[in-house]
Amino acid sequence: MSQTRLRGHRRWWILAAILIVGVIAAVPVASVIHHMFDNAVGRTTVVKNADGTERTVYWREYPGVAGIDPQQVLDGPTPQQGYDAGQTMITEIKAALSEELRLQWAPVADKGGSPFHRPIENHYGGESLLINVNGPESQSITVPQTWEEKQRAISIIEEVARRYGFDALAIDGLESWSAEDRIRDLGGLTPDQQVIVSGVALGRAGQWLAFRFQDLSKDAKGTFTERLRPPEGAQWQMNTMALSYGANGLLAAEDRNEFESRMESFHGLIPPAPLES
């Protein structure tokens, strides 16, 4: 969603390749085989039946997605319903931002294709029955420049999003980043100094509403201006507030019976940790 990870210098790719080869050479063969086996089999749970026998439950057959409550999936919208409500929510947010902060909006770029994507991983070594949703990004043609204005914009987004059942907005937590990384990739050490500030509000059943400020008035050295310059003909905005809706897994009506049937094997079990990607 964000354009913060643009890289330019070929020598870094060469150095990275050398380091990766060195790391791979240092990994014991047994560890590699163990990792490959784990990912092939997926997570398992041994269940004791009422008659004392045992059975193995293979989580690679789990119809949902790790980390998403299956009851919320069943109670939640279909992919089309979620998408439609998400676009209505963003339309309301844009209108409120325009009224209070005088933001104007660029036409939404038509990238073609569907916002619905399947198959998706269940993160236990198999495929989920659920469908990913990735809506288009709306971009303003100007951006609130003071931190107070940005905070007010965040409050407006949150006020509307809560009416649609979303939690409070949270600015992306990057506490683990070094000061050097934050300055290089975001343009500052704190949100009020950063060129790029992003965050998300979470909804039920894996839905999300993402926002991003891209404010080149904070780009004192001009590095972001050059890095974020769009290709000729692209409709990206340089100074912008961006909004987008998506979901990490919603259930289509035609898949509901199969989802419920396959979930029976996992009823009452504690989900294991997802596999490492």
Distances (CA, A) of 243 to 86, 97, 99, 204: 11, 11, 16, 18
- Which residues is 244 bridged to in the sheet? 210
pLDDT reading at 7 higher than 60: no
Instruction: Find the mean pLDDT for residues 5-34.
Output: 37
**Alpha-carbon dihedral 219, 225, 226, 227, rounded to 10 degrees:** 80
Q: What confidence tier does 218 reach under pLDDT thresholds 50, 70, 90?
A: very high
Q: What is the pTM of this model?
A: 0.82
Instruction: Find the mean pLDDT for residues 57-74.
Output: 97
| pLDDT at res. 124 | 96
Domain-by-domain residue ranges, the chain? 10-63+257-266, 70-255
| pLDDT at res. 96 | 98
Instruction: Find the mean pLDDT for residues 212-216.
Output: 96
pLDDT reading at 258 higher than 50: yes
Nearest to 60 by CA among 74, 46, 39: 39
- Which residues is 207 bridged to in the sheet? 247
Whether CATH 3.30.70 fits 70-255: no
